[in-house]
Chains A and B, each alone.
Chain A
Amino acid sequence: MTTAEVEVRNPSGLHARPAAEFVRAAARFKSRIRVENLTAGRPAGEAKSILGVLACGVLKGHRVRISAEGEDETAAVPVLVALIESGLGEPLGG
């Protein structure tokens, strides 16, 4: 299993549009990918399910852990971390 942690800096957290962006990216990998909200301490959700990602309740400033298990796990995690760091298509203030 490959894991990494990253802070979400989108102004409204992982709400509709950034969550959709993230789920679409996760769906491109074969591995089972999960996302866990470390700040809120909620159980991990499936990264390929928008309902699973929304249910993590990720707000601005929250840290999340992304873990992948499967043949392309080492490729998946850094791509998804970089995507979150880049703001998932949203401008990040400051």
Chain B
Amino acid sequence: MNAIRLEGTAAAPGVAVGAVWRYAPGDPGAGAEAETASGDPAAAIRSAADEAARQLEALAERVRDLGRPDDAGIFEAQALMAGDPMLLDEAIRRAEEGERPAAAVQGAAAEAAAMLAGLEDELLAARAADVRDVGARIVRILTGTALDLPEGPSIAVADDLPPSVTAEIPPGFLLGVALAGGSRTAHAVILARGLGIPAIVGVEGLLGAADAAQEEVGGADLVAAMDGESGEVVLDPGPTEAEEFRARAVDLAGRRARAASLRDRPAATRDGERVVLVANIGSPGDAPRALEARAEGVGLFRTEFLFMKRQTPPTEAEQVAAYREVLEAFGPERPVVIRLADIGGDKAIPYLGLPAEANPFLGVRAIRLAYGSRDLLRTQLRAIWRAGALAAVTPHVMAPMVATVADVELLRSLRDEARDGLLAEGAPCAAGMVTGIMIEIPSAAILAPELALLIDFFSIGTNDLTQYLLAADRGNAALGALQDALHPAVLRTIAGVVRGADAAGIPVAVCGELAGDPAGAAVLVGLGVDELSADAGSLDGVREALAGATRPELDALAAAAVAAGDAETVRGLAGQLLARGLERLAAEAGAGRPRAAAGRG
């Protein structure tokens, strides 16, 4: 009864309680005796690699027949890796230098994996795990060790769980995935999301703790409980703890059913006032999650990923490809707001050759860079004009770090210069561009009535606005009390921005974290904000919060919030209204459908 509590990074939601199945890839030392002592190591390696390729081709065929062409593609590529000249030549070279064949293969696979892991693209870098997995398969064949599969429904505990292993697990036998290593984009995590089972990655000390706990329970099954939303893993839980996790599973099933029923219609308050709910994304790879969460578009497409971690600026063609991919994924019905790069300052970029600054948050960054050289932002705007034309949509852009009327004039002249250049070259160019600015600097909030006359929309970045208004560094934990965007000073500022926008007839969005916080969303809609943009994972919660309250209730909440003395009071008021809303929704769901569907433990 010595439950061990561990924590990792929540990667896929869900709650599971069940037997542990421990996966450990072949250790080349362990089954070494089984290696053919006679004969030449090169021939042994080649024949094992051939066999591995055959197995992987068979696996590819099997999953293709099951209607999973993407997995089949991975196994086909792995089959080629098993016979890859780079891999085999290196393994044979190592074996000829005296390494045991199994160790030589594992070493060569690790070397190839390290090379792929260094690629900037996440999808290509993920192939590193595939090579390591191929190496482990060849090692198993060389050493005559079999893959140990779960015998019943289990929670997989491993360092990483490669696709060729998950494909061998019988359907229904995977209850959850807890990984010591891995990332949120690991194959096993994507699989878990697809199956609707929990996944937790980066659980420090997991493997050692699992071995210790297994020793404790002896020959009996080791049980684990896990919550893929909180990131908790409990090994050998007691009856009370197991019961607690089962209760969470029931609660989650209820929430999922409610959220799913709300996803079928657009976000609105209880009395039917529509609120545009869109997603924040950081790369084209985030688009599927946002669409799945029924985002009505993208309110903030961060483009820094194109500019960071490299030695030269991204080319125009490279940017066109990235923007076009996102614009096409969302189509003409779901507008995508591309934010111009917020780089410089604290996000140092080697190829810009900027001097170090004592106070980078208040330094030369984003649109301010264009007062020195217009090239960077003009190229980005050209790429956006071109991507809009290719995707046949009207692109939306916004500039961060706008402080003055002159900044807006600079933005407009860069935009027009980019368009005129393309037209002069006869290159494809979108017919128009919806142009907005972020309101995150207090001066821009104060100047909102003037700025609104020059621009098509505002998007309030509440994180930076809070930091600048309260002069409290976002990264300084000692100033936590000054970092809550629900502070009445921030809310009054937002109210002023909305008034300025309303006078000019332009819409106001909020794309800071406040928009994804149910309490924040409730207050913001009450303040008259038209659009909320948040991480895809927050949209269900916001939709639910809005569906539980009427517009007059939200207006009253906002009026009380701006008059409150501190953020805590606002949070309390919003919490009461949200709790009432959830009760209403739960009562309706209970009345409308039988409760039996609430899920198993």
Contacts and interface: CB of A to CB of B under 8 A. Distances in A.
Contacts of A93: 325, 328
A61 B319 CA distance: 9
A48 interface: yes
B325 A11 contact: yes
Contacts of A49: 84-86
B80 A23 contact: yes
B39 to A, nearest CB: 26
Interface in B315-351: 315, 317-318, 320-322, 324-325, 328
Interface in B67-96: 70, 73-74, 76-77, 79-81, 84-87
Contacts of B324: 94
A48 B427 CA distance: 37
A16 B187 CA distance: 13
Contacts of B85: 46, 48-49
B112 A61 contact: no
A19 B87 CA distance: 16
B86 A61 contact: no
B115 A55 contact: yes
Interface string B87-118: 10000000000000000000000001001100
A68 to B, nearest CB: 16
Interface string A46-80: 10111110110101111000000000000000000
Interface string A35-50: 0000101000010111
B131 A57 contact: no
Interface residues of A, number: 27
A50 B84 contact: yes
A55 B119 contact: yes
A46 B86 contact: yes
Contacts of B321: 59-61
A13 B391 contact: no
B588 interface: no
Interface string B130-155: 11000000000000000000000000
Contact of A17 (B73, B119, B390): B73
A24 interface: yes
A41 to B, nearest CB: 8
Contact of A51 (B73, B81, B317, B320): B81
A54 B127 contact: yes
Contacts, number: 80
Contacts of A51: 81, 84, 86-87, 112, 115-116, 131
With a 10 A CB-CB cut-off, give which of B87, B124, B325 has the most chain A CB atoms.
B124
Main secondary structure of the interface of B (DSSP, over half): helix
A46 to B, nearest CB: 7
Contact of B325 (A19, A50, A60): A60
Contact of B77 (A12, A13, A16, A46): A16
Interface string B389-412: 011000000000000000000000
A46 B390 CA distance: 33
A54 to B, nearest CB: 5
Nearest to A14: B124
A83 interface: no
A50 B81 contact: yes
B488 to A, nearest CB: 47
Interface of B: 70, 73-74, 76-77, 79-81, 84-87, 112, 115-116, 119-121, 123-124, 127, 130-131, 312, 315, 317-318, 320-322, 324-325, 328, 390-391
27 contacts: A13-B123, A15-B123, A15-B127, A16-B77, A17-B74, A17-B76, A20-B73, A20-B77, A24-B80, A39-B315, A39-B317, A39-B318, A41-B312, A46-B85, A46-B86, A50-B77, A50-B81, A51-B87, A51-B115, A52-B86, A55-B116, A57-B120, A60-B325, A61-B318, A61-B320, A61-B322, A94-B391
Interface of A: 11-13, 15-17, 19-20, 23-24, 39, 41, 46, 48-52, 54-55, 57, 59-62, 93-94
Given A39-B317, A51-B116, A61-B317, 20 more contacts: A15-B124, A15-B127, A16-B127, A16-B130, A17-B73, A17-B74, A19-B77, A20-B79, A20-B80, A46-B86, A48-B85, A50-B84, A51-B81, A54-B116, A54-B124, A54-B127, A55-B115, A57-B119, A59-B124, A94-B328
